[in-house]
Chains A and B, each alone.
Chain A
Amino acid sequence: MKSIVTLAAATLVSGAVLAHDMVPGEPQKQPILIKDATVHTITQGVLSDTDLVFTDGRITAIGTDLTTPDNARVIDATGKHVYPGLVALDTTLGLVEIGAVRASDDQEEVGAIHPEVSGHIAYNPDSEVTPTIRFNGITHAQIVPQGDLIMGQSSLLQTDGWTWEDAQEKLNVGVHVNWPRASVIDTWWERRSPAEQRKANAEALKLLERAITDAKAYYDGKQAGTLRGKDIRWEAMTGLFDGSKKLFVHADDKRQMEQALELRREYGFDMVLVGARDSWRMADKLAAEGVPVVFGAPYGLPARNDEAYDQAFTTPATLAAAGVEFAIAYPGFWDIRNLAFAAGNAVAYGLDKDQALAAITYNAAKILGVEESIGSLEVGKKASLIISEGDVMDHLGQDIVHMFIDGSEVDLNNRHRQLYNKYQQKPE
């Protein structure tokens, strides 16, 4: 446990600073050896008392008592934990600075169908929010445009960089669909009768199906060379049909997810279910069909009044037991810093710690198709990792002391620490 005093001392270094002086990390200049740590490799188990070396942004060795490379910087991590950097899926980081200030909000385009927009385009690398979420171990975030139906394309960005270009890990990973409602509700803001709701639901679904039919016709026309011009909406979706892009379906209700699976069977999409509150109701089916899930409600209230109080908390454990490939997300922007704690909460309700960690690192990377580069600690992979004083998923342990992205050390300072530091200096 640290004290206020030690932290104050640490921040004194950057004392009396103005906001916004967190300089993106320099490219790695010298090898770095992390010594005597507990290394959570994710793919190779938890290795205690282990050393890890990375050079030129890549992990070059993991083992015990490794020789210190020439010119290496050595970090004594005795008693500390090394993890892959955390990957936050389904966020709007950098697209919005202040929720209620419209001018600072670039999350959503007009209209129901805008697959052509890409999340990284409006990403603000100087957002004051980003350094605060790095502080909690997040090295990568998936930036997802919002919307009513076909929302746009997401990109995976590093949380440190001069521009989105500099920060890119993978652009335009896939197309996101906000699946039309399939349920009938009786909350008091819903003034339509069940029949009217069902009709509206069916119409919205038709609209989506029509868009996909049109996109497929465009794709087929493109293959056949019969297009009369470029339609940037359908152009953005061609990757869905040749398998180069994923279809992220944001759906919570069982019926929505079943409709989406139908669509997948029809078109053979590489599909990911996002949100997926009801995934526990169909875990075996999801495992059998091999459809991955980004579970988006780790702290969720029960979706229905009759559901158990801990339904959302236990869903990751249910998915794990059924063999579903899943990640845990905590959608939002400023609040995604709670991602690791949310995974910890799934542990409180039955998930193995290793699986919980994988759900915010390796599995998340895999779902975005970047597991060869990040998400686990293996020789040859990018050195995107964090060092924590204790268990990163527990409030009592998490204390990130170092973060590296591609071997560059990331400044963990942020607006919050600056204000903290400033006001500690206010005279009594």
Chain B
Amino acid sequence: MNRSNHLTGVSLAVLAALGLAQTAMADQTTTVQGIHDKTPSLVAFQNATIVLEPGKQLTNATLVIENGKVRALNRNNEAPAGARLVDASGHTIYPGFIDAYASYGVPAPEERSSGGFRSSPPIYSNEREGGNAGNAAIHSERDWIDSFKPDASAAKDFISHGFTAVQTARLDGIFQGQAATVSLADKLPNDVVYNPKARHFGSFDKGSSQQQYPSSLMGSIALVRQTLADANWYEEAYGKQAVTGPVEYNAALAELTDIENTGMVFAIDDELSLLRANEVLSDFSVPRVFIGSGFEYARLDAVKNTGSKLILPLDFPAAPEVGSVDGHLDVQLSNLRHWERAPGNAAALASAGVDFAFTLAQLEKKEDFWPNLRKAVAHGLDKDKALAALTTVPAQISGVDNKAGRLAQGYMADFVIANGDLFNDGEIVSVWLQGEEVELQPMHPADFAGSYSLNVANQDVELELKPGKNLQGTLSVADAESKLHHASHNEDTVEFVVDATIADLAGSWRMKLRQVSEDSLSGMAVAPDGRELMITATRTEAVTAESKEPARADSYISKLTYPNVAYGRTELPARQNVHIKNATVWTADEEGTLENADILIRNGEFVEVGSGLSTPSGYTVIDAEGKHVTPGIIDEHSHIAISQGVNEGSEAIVAEVHIGDVVNPDDIHIYRSLAGGTTMAQLLHGSANPAGGKGQVIKLRWGADADLMKFDAAPATIKFALGENVKQSNWGSDYVVRYPQSRLGVETILRDGFQAALEYGRQLDDYNDLSRSERQRTAAPRPDYRLESMLEILRSERFVHAHSYVQSEILMLLKLAEEFDFTLTTFTHILEGYKVATEMAKHGAGASTFADWWGFKFEVYDAIPYNACLMAKKGVLTSINSDSNDLQRRLNTEAAKSVRYCGMSEEEAIKMITLNPAKQLKVDQYVGSIKPGKQADFVIWNDHPLSAYARAEQTWINARKYFDREEDLAMRAALDTEKQALIQKVLNAGESARDGATNGYKQQQPTWHCEDQHDVWLDQFTAHTHGGQH
């Protein structure tokens, strides 16, 4: 037998424990205790297949290492004199793998305190020490190299999968600090550092921070934006005088001043947040790498367009449970689709040309790493790309591509020896870190499989040993075959018991055989009567296990749609030129309502409304006889299509946060609202603070990405809120410290906010007026996005939509606006608007109200369903809003309630959900009525649009048909067929369907309301009750 002459894993461990193995490398600055270690480190690996880097390999070549580095790669397979020789025949040597996203050898974050939502008093500030940041989720001053300590037991998880180096930081918070790239070798920390200042790590998750801000995804995004702006400012300002004195020392900002060179590795939850992070980081020219979510294939083009590298966890979801007869009731089509396609994510990214690395991070069971990687290959991932994802790409991301990630002269002797192609079924036999081996299995294990002629007491019997890790076999005497039991083996010996009759002795025979040459074994048997006999065996036939390519698995049953959920689209609807004939047309404009009318639509716009129009060639004709056409419905107040939190409910003024940062184009309520005739909605921040976040007007372009949904022509808006929600009336007894706690304070906090904004504006102006020399001494005002938003309001560049109920607060805000010389655009909800309608009209404020809600809290006790009529009558521009994913589907009949309760004219009622909200959003030159020149957003109804019996049949946006009831009916059948086929596929996959992550799917977002106070990062939330709070 050909034994390799390496140190075994056991002996290596012993040496390490004695401290001997370290001394060779550790005598640079550390004094040597005892004898100086001069053990030679020159090793040559001969006869190997050497993979130098993806796509480049040498066969039958020799790798020479010395002093922890690669000394040579000899194509001629020659070894230098004096080298310890390792026969690597039959083996493949890969560059050591690098995990660019790890938390290794750094202290763990503090446990966040558990406890229910609002079970303890809120914390609004951060403990200050050493110039740290004002927010407890910012740790950018931390250099993780400073507290890095090798951790042999943690390293084992990495090494056993072939990793030799990691980029490491504590994975906690939004700015997590600067990572270091280190070898996983068990040495002095000083010796394993490859790059002490690697990338900064980050995420949107505030992690262990107990500070209230940020409590939402949009808050996190705003904090990232403000912090990066602060860093830019600090770089210029530090050492200068600010208005309030010298610019403070801020270690967190100081560390970020070089971020545009260092770059960030940024963790996100899904592909939508990847795009969000990309936007904010690219605004500040921060080089960026994203931790993949596994969903990138679902928005592949958008992900590709970021131009960013990714780091992909290999955590594929276990199949949804569909085994029971009703199991499918709990299973969404989107999850079945993701189960099928998740292993193909890497292949999809590779074919799109996106560079990515693999990471062990986030993998529920680390031992799934290689099986899952092979699954990715089976799903079409090119093996060279797979190897690049373990070597060259992470080396580049970790800033060590000049010393690791390849096998080349002068590179670190970090490599993996495998007994075959790792991407098929090869196994790692050893991992070498800085020239030292960690053995995982014998390099040349004895291979016992085969047929033997076994001689026992001069009788020849037949012994069969099967291939495989566990020894199995049979012994045949004449025609009697017995299975071996109690069988075991090690590198060169097999041992077993067999019940047989040999040499006329029946009973249990114990036998032990040791390999003495390739095909012969010798040893001893203990007969049933206790006699010991010498035995020998000669192999007559060898058996080798077959190596096979994994079966391809890259054909899919599931559709890939945008979004990739039920009712998603494979492509956006085409723009059409349309001739609608013979309809009752509610123009919601000067033309009024026209019977038997025609509409011509060209290039996305209405061009003519009339009767008996002739059809230009190439136009789609819709015969709408008996049907009604209205403008698309516009909702001034919506909370659909928002990811991870509708409220940044932490601080009283959060004017910097922006719903536009968290638009969720995957929300099924977009489609459902289209089906109710709604084409445009203002997505508003919740009502937890006097000055809430910025709003976002979208068109309900189901199937588009978030950017395409945004209606950019809409002027900027912001949500304000007054009353019970902002004074925290219903937040429990711990929430009594934030200013304001009464309507008295709501006025003053807003007044103070506006005052601060005015002064901020003045400081900016003053600074701009300074001479060059004065600027050298004077710090620029810190860019303050919060005050900037407030200032935009005062400059009438941003328009306020104020959640309000009672008359005193309405009057208060009118007066405050007048005092600060701006017009309050729209009061939203405004249930007591009827009491001060004259005052509102005089000011020029609009009102967007509920049709008939009341009774759900004290401040709505005087709400009446006549509110819209009374306000409209007094000249207030009035609309009806939903604030609800349910009502947003049926605003037509909500408007009809003003006809029912107080006799509003039908045309006025229609305007309350079309032209009037368009005016309130200041987009009425584009949408809101059927008028030549306006965008062709419209709805075709089967009946009078204000009737309970009306049903939207088609909904069009910019002359594209986004909803068609007929198509919907057909789609239902197709979705059901697809779902059944996927359920069959799961069932056919049998037990293997259970493999994988148990949490591998997107969690369903809740239905957001104004008042929902989830701290999305601390997993805290308010339960929602029927009837709603608004």
Q: Contact residues of A with B, CB < 8 Å? A: 1-4, 6-7, 97-101, 128-129, 183-189, 191, 193-194, 253-255, 278, 299-302, 304-306, 308-310, 331-335, 337-338, 341, 344-345, 347-349, 393-396, 398-399, 415-417, 419-420, 423-424, 426, 428
Q: Smallest distance from the beta carbon of B977 to chain A beta carbons, Å?
A: 12
- Residues 656-678 of B at the A interface (beta carbon under 8 Å): 668-669, 671-672, 675
Most chain B CB atoms below 10 A, which of A185, A186, A191, A417: A186
User: What is the CA–CA distance of A299 and B887 in the complex, to the nearest angstrom?
Assistant: 9
Determine whether the beta carbon of B672 is less than 8 Å from that of A98: no
Asked whether any CB of chain A lies closer than 8 Å to the CB of B81, the reply is no
Note all chain B residues with C-beta closer than 8 A to A309: 567, 671-672, 675, 889, 968
Residue in B885, B903, B904, B1027 whose CB lies within 8 Å of A332:
B1027
Determine whether the beta carbon of A395 is less than 8 Å from that of B672: no
What residue of chain B has the Cβ atom nearest to residue A301's Cβ? B886
Chain B residues with a Cβ closer than 8 Å to the other chain, count? 77
28 A-B residue pairings within 8 Å (CB atoms):
A7-B902, A98-B857, A98-B861, A100-B724, A183-B329, A183-B330, A187-B1006, A188-B1006, A189-B1021, A194-B321, A255-B326, A301-B672, A305-B334, A306-B979, A309-B671, A309-B672, A309-B968, A331-B1026, A333-B855, A338-B852, A344-B947, A344-B948, A347-B948, A349-B951, A394-B949, A396-B900, A396-B948, A416-B866
Asked whether any CB of chain A lies closer than 8 Å to the CB of B566, the reply is yes
Asked whether any CB of chain A lies closer than 8 Å to the CB of B147, the reply is no
Determine whether the beta carbon of A394 is less than 8 Å from that of B947: yes
What residue of chain B has the Cβ atom nearest to residue A2's Cβ? B903
The 3 nearest A-B residue pairs measured at CB: A344-B948, A334-B855, A395-B896
Most chain B CB atoms below 10 A, which of A1, A185, A423: A423
Note all chain B residues with C-beta closer than 8 A to A335: 852-853, 1027
Note all chain A residues with C-beta closer than 8 A to B899: 1, 395-396
What residue of chain B has the Cβ atom nearest to residue A185's Cβ? B330
Beyond the given A188-B1005, A305-B566, A347-B948, please list 7 additional residue pairs across the A-B interface where CB-CB is below 8 A.
Answer: A255-B326, A301-B886, A334-B855, A348-B951, A395-B899, A416-B854, A416-B865
Q: Smallest distance from the beta carbon of A278 to chain B beta carbons, Å?
A: 8
Note all chain B residues with C-beta closer than 8 A to A278: 329
Given A4-B902, A395-B947, A420-B866 contact (CB < 8 Å):
yes
What residue of chain A has the Cβ atom nearest to residue B864's Cβ? A416
Q: Smallest distance from the beta carbon of B842 to chain A beta carbons, Å?
A: 10
Q: Smallest distance from the beta carbon of A260 to chain B beta carbons, Å?
A: 14
- Residues 329-353 of B at the A interface (beta carbon under 8 Å): 329-330, 332-335
Residue in A189, A304, A396, A424 whose CB lies within 8 Å of B1023:
A189
User: What is the CA–CA distance of A335 and B1028 in the complex, to the nearest angstrom?
Assistant: 11
Q: Smallest distance from the beta carbon of A343 to chain B beta carbons, Å?
A: 8
What residue of chain B has the Cβ atom nearest to residue A428's Cβ? B838
Determine whether the beta carbon of A396 is less than 8 Å from that of B896: yes
User: What is the CA–CA distance of A64 and B530 in the complex, to the nearest angstrom?
Assistant: 116
Determine whether the beta carbon of A345 is less than 8 Å from that of B856: no
Residue in A101, A341, A420 whose CB lies within 8 Å of B864:
A420
User: What is the CA–CA distance of A70 and B631 in the complex, to the nearest angstrom?
Assistant: 56
What residue of chain B has the Cβ atom nearest to residue A423's Cβ? B834
Q: Smallest distance from the beta carbon of B569 to chain A beta carbons, Å?
A: 15
Determine whether the beta carbon of B972 is less than 8 Å from that of A308: yes
Given A100-B730, A301-B672, A308-B968, A187-B1004 contact (CB < 8 Å):
yes
What residue of chain A has the Cβ atom nearest to residue B1002's Cβ? A186
User: How does the 8 Å CB contact mask read for B896-929 relative to A, with 1 for contact and 0 for none?
Assistant: 1101101110100000000000000000000000
Asked whether any CB of chain A lies closer than 8 Å to the CB of B578, the reply is no
Determine whether the beta carbon of B566 is less than 8 Å from that of A420: no
Determine whether the beta carbon of B852 is less than 8 Å from that of A3: no
Determine whether the beta carbon of A302 is less than 8 Å from that of B1004: no
Q: Smallest distance from the beta carbon of B808 to chain A beta carbons, Å?
A: 15
Q: Smallest distance from the beta carbon of A244 to chain B beta carbons, Å?
A: 30
Determine whether the beta carbon of B885 is less than 8 Å from that of A301: yes
Determine whether the beta carbon of B893 is less than 8 Å from that of A419: no
Determine whether the beta carbon of B948 is less than 8 Å from that of A393: yes
Residue in B861, B975, B1006 whose CB lies within 8 Å of A189:
B1006
- Residues 848-877 of B at the A interface (beta carbon under 8 Å): 852-858, 861-862, 864-866, 869-870, 873
Asked whether any CB of chain A lies closer than 8 Å to the CB of B628, the reply is no
What residue of chain B has the Cβ atom nearest to residue A310's Cβ? B675
Note all chain A residues with C-beta closer than 8 A to B724: 100
User: What is the CA–CA distance of A396 and B729 in the complex, to the nearest angstrom?
Assistant: 39
Determine whether the beta carbon of B566 is less than 8 Å from that of A306: yes
Note all chain B residues with C-beta closer than 8 A to A193: 998
User: What is the CA–CA distance of A423 and B836 in the complex, to the nearest angstrom?
Assistant: 9
What residue of chain A has the Cβ atom nearest to residue B975's Cβ? A306
User: What is the CA–CA distance of A332 and B1026 in the complex, to the nearest angstrom?
Assistant: 8
User: What is the CA–CA distance of A428 and B1025 in the complex, to the nearest angstrom?
Assistant: 40
Q: Smallest distance from the beta carbon of A143 to chain B beta carbons, Å?
A: 16
User: What is the CA–CA distance of A187 and B1014 in the complex, to the nearest angstrom?
Assistant: 13
User: What is the CA–CA distance of A184 and B668 in the complex, to the nearest angstrom?
Assistant: 20
User: What is the CA–CA distance of A255 and B835 in the complex, to the nearest angstrom?
Assistant: 50
Asked whether any CB of chain A lies closer than 8 Å to the CB of B509, the reply is no
Q: Smallest distance from the beta carbon of B996 to chain A beta carbons, Å?
A: 14
Asked whether any CB of chain A lies closer than 8 Å to the CB of B76, the reply is no
Most chain B CB atoms below 10 A, which of A97, A393, A426: A426
Determine whether the beta carbon of B852 is less than 8 Å from that of A337: yes
Note all chain A residues with C-beta closer than 8 A to B866: 416-417, 419-420
Asked whether any CB of chain A lies closer than 8 Å to the CB of B184, the reply is no
Note all chain B residues with C-beta closer than 8 A to A99: 855-857, 1025, 1027, 1029
User: What is the CA–CA distance of A273 and B334 in the complex, to the nearest angstrom?
Assistant: 31
Given A309-B968, A416-B864, A334-B854 contact (CB < 8 Å):
yes
Determine whether the beta carbon of A423 is less than 8 Å from that of B948: no
Asked whether any CB of chain A lies closer than 8 Å to the CB of B589, the reply is no
Determine whether the beta carbon of A347 is less than 8 Å from that of B672: no
User: What is the CA–CA distance of A428 and B841 in the complex, to the nearest angstrom?
Assistant: 11
User: What is the CA–CA distance of A397 and B1000 in the complex, to the nearest angstrom?
Assistant: 51
Determine whether the beta carbon of B856 is less than 8 Å from that of A100: yes
Most chain A CB atoms below 10 A, which of B724, B857, B904, B948: B948
Determine whether the beta carbon of B949 is less than 8 Å from that of A306: no
Q: Smallest distance from the beta carbon of B272 to chain A beta carbons, Å?
A: 15
Note all chain A residues with C-beta closer than 8 A to B1029: 99-100
What residue of chain A has the Cβ atom nearest to residue B950's Cβ? A348
- Residues 815-865 of B at the A interface (beta carbon under 8 Å): 834-835, 837-838, 852-858, 861-862, 864-865
User: How does the 8 Å CB contact mask read for B936-950 relative to A, with 1 for contact and 0 for none?
Assistant: 000000011011111
